Structure 1
Amino acid sequence: MSHQTGIQANADLKKYFSKCRDGKIRALKVSIENEQLTLAKHYPVKGTFEQDFDKYIPTLIVEDLPCYILYRFDTTNSLGYEWLLLSWSPDEAPVRHKMLYASTKATLKQEFGSAHIKDEMHATSKDEVCLKGYKTHVSGVNAPAPLTDREEALRELQQSGQDPNYGTDSRQSTMGGIAFPITESAKQGIIDLQRGSYNYLQFKIDLEEEKICLSKAAVIGLTELPSQVPSDVARYHLYIFKHTHEGDHMESIVFIYSMPGYSCSIKERMMYSSCKGQFLEIIEKLGVVVDKRLEIDDGKELTEEYLYDEIHPKRNLHRPAFAKPKGPPNRGAKRITKTQTTQ
Structure 2
Amino acid sequence: MSHQTGIGASDSLRQFFGKCRDGQYRVVKVSITGDAGPEMNMDESKERSGSWDEDWDSLLVPLVDQDQPAYFLYRLDEKDSSSGFLWVFISWSPDHAHTRQKMLYASTKATFKKEFGQGQIKDEYFATSKDEITLSGYRRHLAADAGPGPLSKEEEEMKEIKESETRVDIGVDTKQQTLGSMAFPMERSVLQSLEEFLKKGHDYIQLSIDLKNESILLKKKGMFTIEELPSLVPEDEARYHLFRYKHTFQGEATSSVVFIYSMPGYSVSIKERMLYSSCKNSVVEIIEKHYNIDIAKKMEIESGSELTEQFIMSEIHPVEISSKPKFSKPAPPSRGNKRITKAPPS
User: Per the shorter chain, which TM-score range?
Assistant: 0.3 to 0.5
Provide TM-score, normalisation by structure 1. 0.46
Provide TM-score, normalisation by structure 2. 0.46
